[in-house]
Structure 1
């Protein structure tokens, strides 16, 4: 199963992504000698929508973080709640920006 999360309200075409990922899965299966495996099933996921075209990375990181955190707690109702959110607050995105900056800073000064 391949989930495509589009924070730009499906303005992006995903045909190119579909081709690349499908080909990657085929190559992986071929290299592992896993013949006869099914093709990937695609599902476009409605995640929180970004207000402009400049914050997709932060929205993507925030969305992935919430999926991991909610999945780790094994709360089935909480995982579906992130798909219901329409957008993130400025504070939620700023938190991701801050974490990203700290990570880069640690990497630069090591």
Structure 2
């Protein structure tokens, strides 16, 4: 919020941010900033983050949750480059997903 950056985690690897979600998040961030007394010019910066690719069409939530858990457990995730590096894994196996 402080840096006005949004990270879009997409395990379907569509390479595009959903415009409806983008509109809602942009407005929500502006409202939150105004409520905190901050002046905002323009929209937040959006960063498309490659996640490990899901194998089917219905596992999106599981893949993104697994990736977020991986991010939270990695104490070195403090830079965009590290975030992108973690997303380079091809996919998660069943054993890796079962711990959720």
TM-score per shorter chain, which class? 0.7 to 0.9
How far apart are 1:54 and its partner, in Å? 1.4
Shift of 1:83: 1.6
Give the corresponding residue for 2:37: 33
In structure 2, the CA distance between the partners of 1:30 and 1:8, relative to structure 1 (3 Å rule), is same
Check whether the contact 2:34–2:40 (CA below 8 A) recurs between aligned residues.
no
Q: Which runs of 5+ in 2 are unaligned?
A: none
Structure ranking higher in helix proportion:
1
TM-score scaled by length of structure 1: 0.73
The superposition leaves residues 23-47 of structure 1 with CA deviations (integer Å, 9 ceiling, x where unpaired) of 0011001111211455310011111
- What is the rounded CA distance, in whole Å, between the counterparts of 1:32 and 1:12 in structure 2? 30
Instruction: Please say which of residues 31-40 and 43-52 is displaced more in the overlay.
Output: 31-40
| Structure-2 change in CA distance of 1:33 and 1:60 (3 Å) | same
Matched, 1:48 2:52: yes
Superposed displacement of residue 9, structure 1: 1.8
1:24 to 8, 19, 28: 28
Structure 1: 5+ residue stretches without partners:
97-110
Q: Relative to total residues, which structure has the larger strand share, 1 or 2?
A: 2
In the superposition, the TM-score normalised over structure 2's length comes to 0.80
